Amino acid sequence: MKDLYIDLPPFAPDYGGACEAMYELGGLVLIHDASGCTVNYVSFDEPRWHDRPGSVFCSGLTEIEAVMGDDEALIGKALRAAEILEPSFIAYVGSSVPMVVGTDFEGIARETEERSGIPSFGFDCNGIRSYVHGAGRVLLALTKRFCGEKTDSRGTLVLGQLPLDDNGIEASERLKSLFPDLRASISFGCGIEDLKEAQNAEKIAVVSASGLPAAEYLRGRYGIPFEVGLPLKQAEKDHKKTLVIGEDVRAASLAKALGNADGLDLFSPSGLCRYHSASEDEIRRIAADYDNVVADPCFRPLVKGNLVPLPTISVSGGIFKDTVSAFDTDAIAALLL
């Protein structure tokens, strides 16, 4: 049955991706919820919460505020917090209750900006769409707003790198090392100034589908070319038929590097993977045609063949230890039949 999760946990939602894309940029981010959505994000979607400061808060939405449409309570909290934190921008991020009551986040952001003079954004996330969608919207909006005139053309700008796509901060650090002429990686290990200079990149590498909308915008406005995919080393070992399950760009890149492999995207297809599905029944059926499946350990109940565990935060929230580096194709190939 579609939409019924028997074995899998639900994957990271749009508000998680949206907040991840802004975490290190010095903005004040308010998830408009009662607390459960924010706790979800800080507990399982954001490994940097334990490691470095960020300004993602919960609005503390109450039933009466939701019923009465009391946007002033939300704006007031943001403005009071902004006085203390002096953020580079203010962003409101939606969740499921605001979706039901039809909160106008863009209007709230406009009013906030008028009253505070601080660039403000509203993202009507709803906890139903995928994190790739949420992060993609944020990266596009911030790029449109903050990138100015092009004055230089140097280095590679990585777009779409979120810790959600990896299994921890260490893995995200390793990904950056794949780009020797790295200019900045949005949004991991970067600040708002890096984003404001994004238009000065020579080229762009899109490492997850969340980076695509912003990459297309930068190419359209500044003529910066982009490539989609991870520059992974081609695996040397031959192996039987393999399925790689994950985010579209990541899964397709790994499948290509392994050879004799196909990708299955779980989140938001950019058209690279052979398959796209988040349905347990369908994934079980597709996986049955492969001897090897490279996927998060949560997929084990769906796989009859050889499962090579590759945990990602977007699926299992960092609860599994790494067994093999996601970027070490030879090490992964060694585990394939």
**What's the CA gap between 146 and 126, in Å, rounded?**
25
Chain-centroid distance, C-alpha 280: 22
User: Shortest gap between Cβ of 112 and other proteins (angstroms)?
Assistant: 13
Query: CB-wise, 211 or 309, nearer to other proteins?
Result: 309
Q: Which is nearer to other proteins, 9 or 225 (CB)?
A: 9
Distance, CA of 284 to CA of 281 (rounded, Å): 5
In three-state secondary structure terms, 264 is strand
Torsion of CA 207, 213, 214, 216, to 10 degrees: 100
Residue 175 in contact with residue 169, Cβ under 8 Å?
A: no
Cβ atoms 16, 131 nearer than 8 A: yes
Q: Select 218 or 278, whichever has its Cβ closest to other proteins.
A: 278
Cβ at position 2, least distance to other proteins in Å: 9
> Between residues 7 and 152, which has the closer beta carbon with respect to other proteins?
7
CB of residue 53 to other proteins, shortest distance in Å: 6
CB of 99 vs other proteins, minimal distance in Å: 7
Give 200's contacts (C-beta < 8 A, 6+ positions apart): 150, 151, 152, 153, 154, 183
**Residue 261 Cβ, how far from other proteins at the closest point, in Å?**
26
Nearer to other proteins, 164 or 175 (CB): 164
- In the bound complex, what is the minimum distance in angstroms from residue 181's beta carbon to other proteins? 31
Residue type, 119: P
For the chain, give the number of residues.
Answer: 337
Residue 203 host element (H or E): strand 203-206
Sign of the alpha-carbon torsion through 313, 314, 320, 324: negative
Q: State the residues that interact with other proteins by CB under 8 A.
A: 1, 3-16, 30, 33-44, 49-53, 57-64, 66-67, 73, 76-78, 80-81, 84, 95-97, 99-101, 126-128, 297-298, 316-321
- C-beta of 73 vs 178, nearer to other proteins: 73
Q: Please state, as a whole number, how many other Cβ atoms lie within 10 Å of the Cβ of residue 307.
A: 20
Distance of closest approach, residue 329 Cβ to other proteins, in angstroms: 24
The residue (of 40 and 270) whose beta carbon lies closer to other proteins is 40
In whole angstroms, give the CA distance from residue 110 to residue 118: 10
